[in-house]
């Protein structure tokens, strides 16, 4: 995976369609890989459901190249799938329920910070 | 806020639950060990008979309780009690066991409701002693059960391995989570 990461230089592999959604077929074994920045977040997002890569980067507030780098590396491992995204009419913000309650999200952030000190 | 401050470690006897909790805990973990008397003794000289307990201290005084379930089936009555208020489940599987896929089916069945409500990550231990089954095969087993969790090779003695596993648990709950 690391070789694919280095050679991709943040570019997407040939044959993928950026106008289709990308999803991760399964998580890579991350304890035995050198991980690019934000790899775990990208993996989690693309495992949950397919995303357009630009949308994924925007949603996570990270640079597109980090998403592209992960996708390139995962693609080299045969872990990336693609499907068409059907764009539904946008819901008003007040109808969007948070995935995680705010008070719980705060706690999860603290746990994450604590774990990253290890 | 209702209780939401536990991470549960489960898995068969000898999978490394006690060790993994010890790797993360900020206090010497409390283990309730006794000499193994049943089939367990063939795998270990001592084993946890009630549960393991450790703590992660967070800024601001909050604590995350780390609970390890006892590995033997006869203690499964405790599992429901332990999962109340849980953030998610860490399932450790021992790759040297005769039928680890049976362990997959057993533990996902026992904790299915909790997994559906929260999150699951899987750590496969002892892969240095037994390289097969490979992680790919575990993924297939979980897919048959309708699950797609992170599955990592871990050594419970290595803090970084256990930390990455629990980080994956948190990101599986909320992929856009950022550090505080």
Give alpha helix (H) positions in chain B.
Answer: 17-24, 77-83, 100-110, 112-117, 135-144, 159-173
**What mean pLDDT value characterizes chain A?**
84
φ and ψ of B167, to 5 deg: -60, -45
- With a cut of 90, say whether residue A16 has pLDDT above it: no
**Cβ contact, residue pair A104, B149, below 8 Å:** no
Number of A:B CB contacts under 8 A? 114
**Predicted pLDDT at A6:** 57
Tell me which chain B residues have a C-beta less than 8 angstroms from the C-beta of A102. Answer: none
DSSP secondary structure code for residue B37 in this structure: -
Chain B interface mutation, best of A22, A25, A27, highest count of B Cβ atoms under 10 Å: A27
Q: What is the pLDDT of residue B31?
A: 72
End-to-end CA separation in angstroms for chain B: 20
Is the per-residue pLDDT at A55 higher than 90?
yes
C-alpha closest to that of B164 among B178, B174, B150: B150
User: What's the CA gap between A41 and B28, in Å, rounded?
Assistant: 31
Which residues of B make CB contacts under 8 Å with A? 1, 4-5, 24, 56-60, 62, 64, 87, 135, 139, 143, 148-154, 159-161, 163-168, 170-180
Q: In the structure, what pLDDT confidence band is assigned to residue B3 with cuts at 50, 70 and 90?
A: confident
Q: pLDDT band for B1, please (50, 70, 90 cuts).
A: very low
**pLDDT more than 90, % of chain A:** 53
Q: Report chain B residues whose CB lies below 8 A from the CB of A44.
A: 168, 171-172, 175
Half-sphere exposure of B101 (CA within 13 A, CB side): 14
pTM for the model stands at 0.88
Position B95 confidence tier, pLDDT thresholds 50, 70, 90 = very high
Q: What is the pLDDT of residues B59-86, one digit of tens each?
A: 888 999 999 987 667 777 778 888 988 9
Alpha-carbon gap, residue B39 to B42, rounded angstroms: 6
Which pLDDT value is given to residue B79? 81
What is this model's ipTM?
0.85
CB contact under 8 A, A109 and B180: yes
């Amino acid at each position: 995976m690391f070789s694919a990461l280095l050679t991709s230089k943040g570019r997407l592999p040939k044959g993928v369609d950026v106008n289709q959604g990308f999803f991760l077929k399964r998580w890579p074994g991350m304890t035995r890989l050198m991980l690019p920045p934000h790899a775990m977040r990208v993996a989690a997002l693309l495992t949950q459901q397919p995303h357009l890569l630009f949308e994924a980067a925007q949603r996570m507030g990270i640079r597109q190249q980090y998403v592209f780098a992960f996708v390139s590396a995962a693609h080299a491992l045969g872990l990336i799938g693609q499907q068409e995204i059907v764009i539904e009419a946008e819901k008003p913000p007040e109808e969007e329920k948070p995935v995680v309650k705010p008070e719980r999200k705060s706690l999860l952030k603290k746990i994450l910070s604590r774990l990253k000190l290890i | 806020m209702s209780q939401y401050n536990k991470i549960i470690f489960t898995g068969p006897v000898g999978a490394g639950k006690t060790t993994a909790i010890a790797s993360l805990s900020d206090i010497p973990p409390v283990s309730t060990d006794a000499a193994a008397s049943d089939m367990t003794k063939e795998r270990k000289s001592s084993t946890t008979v009630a549960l393991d307990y450790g703590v992660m201290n967070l800024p601001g005084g909050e604590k995350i309780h780390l609970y390890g379930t006892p590995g033997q089936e006869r203690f499964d009555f405790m599992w429901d009690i332990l999962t109340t208020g849980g953030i998610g489940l860490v399932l450790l599987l021992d790759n040297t066991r005769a039928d680890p896929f049976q362990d997959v089916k057993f533990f996902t069945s026992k904790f299915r409701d909790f997994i559906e409500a929260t999150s699951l990550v899987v750590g496969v231990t002892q892969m240095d002693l037994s390289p097969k089954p490979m992680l790919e095969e575990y993924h297939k087993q979980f897919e048959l059960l309708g699950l797609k969790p992170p599955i990592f090779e871990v050594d419970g003695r290595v803090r970084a391995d256990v930390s990455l596993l629990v980080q994956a648990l948190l990101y599986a709950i909320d992929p856009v989570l950022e550090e505080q």
